[in-house]
Structure 1
Amino acid sequence: MNIKLIAVDLDGTLLNDKQEVSTKTKEALQRASKMGIKIVPCSGRPFPGIKEYLDELDLKDPNQYVVAFNGALVLNSEGRPIVEELLDYNDFIFFEKIAQQLKANFHIEVRDKFITIDHFINYYLSRESWLTRMPIKVCDLGDIEEDIKFTKAMFSGSAAEMRKIYRKLPKEVIEKYNVSTSDETLIEINSKKASKGNALRELAKKLNIKEDEVMIFGDQKNDISMFDIADFYKVAMGNAVSEIKEHANYVTKTNNEDGIAYALRRLVFDE
């Protein structure tokens, strides 16, 4: 198999349930990197929440890349944007009105922080702040500048609350935006053009890599855009949701069983 780029989701894929990259997974990805294969972390997380894993995998060269914010940004390892698909002030006002109508906790992500006009910070946003290493800025509506550009809008709450909010989202949201979930306590909304699949496709073009030379690993619904691209070689984690497994070329072991290393040994290293 002639693979030149390997894209890996983070939570539930690269990371085990302890939020760690296992030794076997690290060694397998570093081995692939030494073979000249690009290793691209591909996550709903912002860049600060991804960069530490670039460092851990020794992918510090400026010609290494990440897909962040569910595909709203592709950046090199130094944080320089390569591809951008952002939302604006009108989008913010639109979602803020929906949040008020649905009594939902709402926030946005810019490149280096969360912004919310909710003066109550719930547990789920606090957890995201910790996981992504990004601070939370609380402000009033009048403090939001009309030239603002942001990567992602998010609703957060309990799993039951998010199922209820998702059912009540106006049809216009589903039609005009890319709506996904990486966690049952979050609803993530990007530009319609922003998805992990589109971002990877654009990055591969810029690197002169054919789509059938791209291998992807994922486990959650926000990975489905990668699994929808016909020529990508698609590997579902053993812990993946059914929609991902149904679209996969290969189902590997779980994230707690070194699933990435297991698949690479068989599919790339021919062992």
Structure 2
Amino acid sequence: MNYKMIVTDLDDTLLNSQGKISLKDKEAIMKAQEAGIIFVLASGRPTYAMRDLAKELNLAKYGSYILSYNGSIITNCKTNKNILEETLTRDEIHTLYDFSKRNNVEIITYLDDTIVSEDYSSYIEVEVDLTKMPFEKVKNFKATVDKDCVKCIMLEEPTYLSKVEKNLKDELGESFSIAISKPFFLEVTKLGVDKGSSLLKLAHMLNIKQDEIIVVGDSYNDLPMLKVAGLPACVENAKPEIKEICKFISTSNNNNGMANLIEKLIFKK
């Protein structure tokens, strides 16, 4: 198969434990783009927190893309324009806030390029560190969030958060797309929006067939895009449930997993 697109998750997939792209992975990605492969960064991260990585990989030069907020926004790196944007309404965000209070979990959202919450904890600090975005602790979440936003995250200790996930799906699963990314991040986007649905829209725009797409991931919020890929792949450190559905398992994110995949699947080495 002649693949035309590689789509990859960031944290624990493309990025190593230091949050960096290895030199070998970077060189392989450049080589693939030079050969005409469209490269897509697909993450739960905000667009703001992905731009430096896109710049590092020269995505603008090669006409590649960012798929951010778990698929809520797709950005054409060459034009720096959003070609898709799906948001939660203000009232939907307020509904999620009320749920978070009833279930004793923290909640954040993104107001323009600022993370907003009534709380601040070690879990929220992880998101602030990952995204490098400004954080604002507010007295009244509902009063502050007075317009549509792209995504909410509920945060808490993983064992408890998995119970909250079940409660959320039972109570509001017909109204939102819900997925665990990191064990302490429960991510909520507009109903029907996930990495998979947005990837299919992008592929349609570019006249790329599903069987011409390689997707690489490691965790549960990658499942929707892995399921629509021609070739679902993962890194060696992926969750067991992810490995079960993948046709190719690469080396780990700390052992040049992307370079190994590109060499084997694109350049047949």
- Band the TM-score falls in, shorter-chain normalisation: over 0.9
- Equivalences for 1:159-238 in 2 at 5 Å? 159-169=158-168, 171-229=170-228, 231-238=229-236
Q: Give the AA of the match of 2:99.
A: I
Q: Per-residue CA shift, 1:119-167, capped at 9, x if unaligned? A: x311111220121121122332453354x11111111122233223224
Q: Per-residue CA shift, 1:192-216, capped at 9, x if unaligned? A: 2211011111111111111111111
Alignment-derived partner of residue 56 in structure 2 = 56
1:107 lines up with 2:105 in the alignment: no
Give the % identical residues.
Answer: 29
Q: Give the AA of the match of 1:137.
A: E
Question: Quick one: distance in 1 between partners of 2:135 and 2:31?
Answer: 37
**TM (normalized to structure 1)?**
0.93
Q: Structure 1: which 5+ residue stretches go unaligned?
A: none
Question: Quick one: distance in 1 between partners of 2:246 and 2:106?
Answer: 34
- Equivalences for 1:1-12 in 2 at 5 Å? 1-12=1-12
In structure 2, relative to structure 1, the CA distance for the partners of 1:19 and 1:145 (3 Å cut) is closer
Alignment-derived partner of residue 71 in structure 1 = 71
Paired residue total: 267
1:158 lines up with 2:175 in the alignment: no
The alignment's C-alpha RMSD in Å is 1.7
In structure 2, relative to structure 1, the CA distance for the partners of 1:243 and 1:138 (3 Å cut) is same
Question: Quick one: distance in 1 between partners of 2:51 and 2:169?
Answer: 35
Question: Quick one: distance in 2 between partners of 1:62 and 1:251?
Answer: 27
Alignment-derived partner of residue 80 in structure 1 = 81
Q: Structure 2: which 5+ residue stretches go unaligned?
A: none
Question: Quick one: distance in 1 between partners of 2:124 and 2:241?
Answer: 26
Question: Quick one: distance in 2 between partners of 1:69 and 1:213?
Answer: 24
Moved over 3 A (4+): none
Alignment-derived partner of residue 259 in structure 1 = 257
Question: Quick one: distance in 2 between partners of 1:160 and 1:28?
Answer: 38
Alignment-derived partner of residue 247 in structure 2 = 249
Q: Secondary structure at the match of 1:106?
A: strand
1:14 lines up with 2:14 in the alignment: yes
8 Å contact 1:22–1:258 — kept in the other structure?
Answer: yes
